[in-house]
Chains A and B, each alone.
Chain A
Amino acid sequence: MALMIPCPHCGRRPYGEFWASGELPEGGHGVEADVEADYRRVWLRRNVAGDQRERWFHHAGCRRWLTLTRNTITNAIHDVV
């Protein structure tokens, strides 16, 4: 079975309709004044083994961004907004 993503707008859809854009950065998306903070946000990852908050884009559906919590060991999805 394909991994199913529960899109709040379109319902449960196979992952191939989405682009996974990875874990949510700590401290927002904005460009930082501090070069070190910028470096950490752009390049470094927590790469969590367990529950991860992450962004997906529903390119073949509603074309909206979702934030979901997925367990990266089991791929179970807990929570979507």
Chain B
Amino acid sequence: MLKLFRREQYLRVDTLGDRYDVVIIGGGGHGLATAYYLAAKFGVTKVAVLERAYIGSGGTGRNTTVLRANYKTPETIAFYRASYQLYATLGQDLDYNMLRSQRGLLWLAHSEPQLRNQRERALQNQQFGVNTVFLDAAQVKATCPELDMTGGGKRPILGAAYHPPGAIIRHDAVAWAYAMAAQRLGVEIHQGIEVTGLDIEGGRCRGVRTNQGPIAAGKVLSAVGGYVTDIANMAGIRLPIVTHPLQAYVTEAYKPVLDRIVASADLHIYVSQSARGEVLIGAEIDPFTSYSTRSTFPFLASCSARAIDLFPFLAKLRILRQWTGLCDMTPDYSPLMGLCEVENFLISSGWGTWGFKAIPASGLAMAELLATGQVPSLIAPFALDRFRRDRAVPERASAGTH
């Protein structure tokens, strides 16, 4: 009877080999998507994903699942738009229900400077083919009637950039679906295997060392989220990255009242309601670097005060759980991906607080780079050496919270 409802085992357990064409370190969304596209689009199937805990245990299973493309620079708008489009059909493509739900995303302004910023964002988005419109206060109220337009009597809402494509999706399902689809094509997913070193000879990477012994590899990709500095140290390279915790929390389930995803540029928080009724609240990163995933009370207190200013009904709700993930933050808040000075060793990083929505586009582009050796033009602006060349891609205002 149980079999009717539950698959006994959702991932095949393979025996670890001693040589692969590509070894991917990290079974988060980026590692798994890259593995899937290597097999599905480029016929590279002798691929192993090595995950030290369980797949999706990093940022991929801890994020607040906002999908959107309303960024500021032409390079990032093109990249996130491509990713948004891949996400739109991902459930069908991978044959997995991801509970994707298009909600529309309001980005509120409570001050004159932010009003100008949000108007500029809408115009910039339209220029590059992304649907974002500027709304005045009355239109904001009509779009999201639950909002307290006085901002708790302290921060009146003056207007917003409204991005109708804004969506949420089940994050675990994204990891599981990529993993299962990759496995069906012959990719191996190994959980509980930790990479402890890289084999580098004459500036060229030849494989990895693990807690289960060495594994030879044609190419190695690091996709380890907030732990990228560990792997970079193994490769002997230094990155423009610092690791910050990012926290979020949910309330107990409540009747469905909130259709929209609502973010506030001045209050630095965002709120959405999940399919099962929990109200999800997120904010900015902790203000100092850390590898601690311990959740803190000051975060809860300060976010709740701001969230209640937007939605007074939240004051009645109890908090169900709070959690923390680690973010690999870049100075310009854009991804850091591609080749580096060690041959056959590639990095997918700089995913910070914004990388979940990027998983399909980055996976596909990194697979192309691994398979062909050519850097796809979509990700060329995010190359590791861009700061050396004075080519930062500034996105702080658009990427800072989610």
Determine the distance from Cα of A60 to Cα of B240 in the docked complex, in whole angstroms.
29
Q: Mark A31-64, 1 if CB is under 8 A from B, else 0.
A: 0000000011011111111001010000000000
Does B77 lie at the interface of the complex (its beta carbon under 8 Å from any beta carbon of A)?
Answer: no
Given the contacts A22-B242, A39-B387, A47 and B289 also touching, CB distance less than 8 Å: yes
Give the complex CA separation of A9 and B243 in angstroms: 29
A20 and B291 alpha carbons, distance in the complex (Å)? 15
B314-331 interface mask toward A, CB cutoff 8 Å, 1 = contact, 0 = none? 000000000000000001
Interface residue tally for chain B (C-beta within 8 Å) = 21
Q: A5-35 interface mask toward B, CB cutoff 8 Å, 1 = contact, 0 = none?
A: 0000000001110011011000000000000
Contact of A73 among B229, B240, B242, B292 (CB under 8 A): B292
Chain B residues within 8 Å of A19, by CB:
287
Bound complex: CA A39 to CA B238 (Å)? 12
Contact of B242 among A2, A3, A45 (CB under 8 A): A45
B388 partner residues in chain A, CB cutoff 8 A: 39, 43
Question: Number of residue pairs across A and B with beta carbons under 8 Å?
Answer: 64
Q: Are the CB atoms of B238 and A44 closer together than 8 Å?
A: yes
A44–B289 CB distance below 8 A: no
A2 CB, nearest partner CB in chain B, Å: 5
Interface residues of B in 253-276 (CB under 8 A from A): none
For chain A, the count of residues having a C-beta within 8 Å of the partner chain is 26
* A43-B240 contact given A1-B297, A16-B298, CB 8 Å threshold: yes
Which one of A43, A47, A73 contacts B387 once the chains associate, using CB atoms below 8 Å? Answer: A43
Q: Give CA–CA (A43, B387) in the complex, Å.
A: 7
Q: Is B252 an interface residue (CB 8 A)?
A: no
* Distance A76 CA – B27 CA, assembled complex (angstroms): 30
Chain B residues contacting A72 (CB-CB under 8 Å) are 243, 289-292
Most A CB contacts (10 A, CB to CB) among B240, B288, B290, B297 go to: B288
Interchain Cβ contacts under 8 Å between A and B, 8 examples:
A15-B288, A39-B387, A45-B242, A47-B239, A48-B229, A49-B230, A73-B290, A73-B291
Whether A15 lies near B287 (C-beta < 8 A) is yes
Given A22-B242, A39-B387, 9 extra CB contacts under 8 A? A1-B296, A2-B296, A2-B297, A20-B287, A23-B242, A45-B229, A46-B238, A47-B242, A72-B291
Q: Within the complex, which residue of B238, B287, B288, B298 is in contact with A45, where a contact is CB–CB below 8 Å?
A: B238
* Binary interface encoding of chain B residues 1-29 relative to chain A, with 1 for a CB under 8 A from any of its CBs, else 0: 00000000000000000000000000000
